[in-house]
Amino acid sequence: MGSLASTVRDVGLQQLAFAPPPCAYTLGQCDTVMTADGDRVALRLFVQEQNTLQNWRARRDYVDTRLLIIFSHGNSDDIQTSAPYCEWLSRTFDANVVSYDYIGFGQSTKGRTTEVNMCQAIEAVYDLAVNRMGVPPQQVVLFGKSIGTGPTVSLASGKRPTSGVILVSPLASGVRCVCDSESVPRAILECIDGVFMPSVQRMAQVKVPTCVVHGTDDEVIGIDNAQALVARCGALAVYPPLYVPAGHNDIEARHGPLFVAHIRRFLGYTANIAALPYTRDVDD
């Protein structure tokens, strides 16, 4: 019964939450990695010098001192449509960027996108970078945009260390994304948060600085989502959020200099934190 209920839930949530664009790239234009369940995840690496695709499997050692941003895109993008944004991130912040596609998107395995396989996808990308390529965890920054919040916060709340987390136009949970959280009793809201992507419940386990950026006029994901996430940040994750008069997809276009300055300050802050002696255990 539980399996049937979860299947019905996943199908309904997929229809509500995910709208992958028609795939406009081939397997020859990306690299791939396998998840724990054997699904293929398509990915691309953008390098600051040339912003072109690199073959990860041909690179055995990561000798670059730049940050590596693991970018989790929104629900209507894939690694092709989000390429200009990733190239902009790479140039603007002097960082390397890896973007990846969720199951059901692009050249990743065809099938139903679920919270579980989204989280497995980002875990596979992280493990490829850190365990196979040798990227130091202190050079890894997680960047989730819109629904990319879910896998980003899931990874950050686990035992895979990183330098910091950036969340742009984030959702606190799937439920809060589609309802007015102010009109739902708190006890009920916290109970149903767990239905889909309960990032708000996971924030307390995030132990690295977390930067939240949101538009006050966002009609897709209300700013109350960002405020809920910030309120749940633990002591190690607290960082001043940036709220600007913008919608869901135009923060960078309308407030580019402010956005860039805020993210640069945050990256400088995470670099200073990462340079401190690490004495706490991930289970503390």
Return the active site residues. Answer: 146, 218, 248
Give the closest residue to 104 by CA, choosing from 114, 115, 96, 112. 112
Other residues' Cβ atoms within 10 Å of the Cβ of residue 219: 8
Say which residues have a Cβ less than 8 Å from residue 140's Cβ, sequence separation at least 6: 67, 68, 70, 126, 129, 130, 161, 162, 163
| Residue 224: exposure state from Cβ atoms within 10 A (0-12, 13-18, ≥19) | middle
DSSP string, 55-118: -GGG-------S-EEEEE--TT--TTTTHHHHHHHHHHHT-EEEEE--TTSTTSPPS---HHHH
Residue 62: other Cβ atoms inside 10 A: 18
Measure Cα distances from 273 to 64, 162, 211, 236, 270 in Å: 20, 11, 14, 10, 5
Give the SS3 label for residue 168.
Answer: strand
- Nearest of 42, 89, 39, 40 to residue 68 by alpha carbon: 89
Q: Which amino acid is at 97?
A: V
Three-state DSSP state, 50: coil
For residue 49, count other CB atoms closer than 10 A to its CB: 10
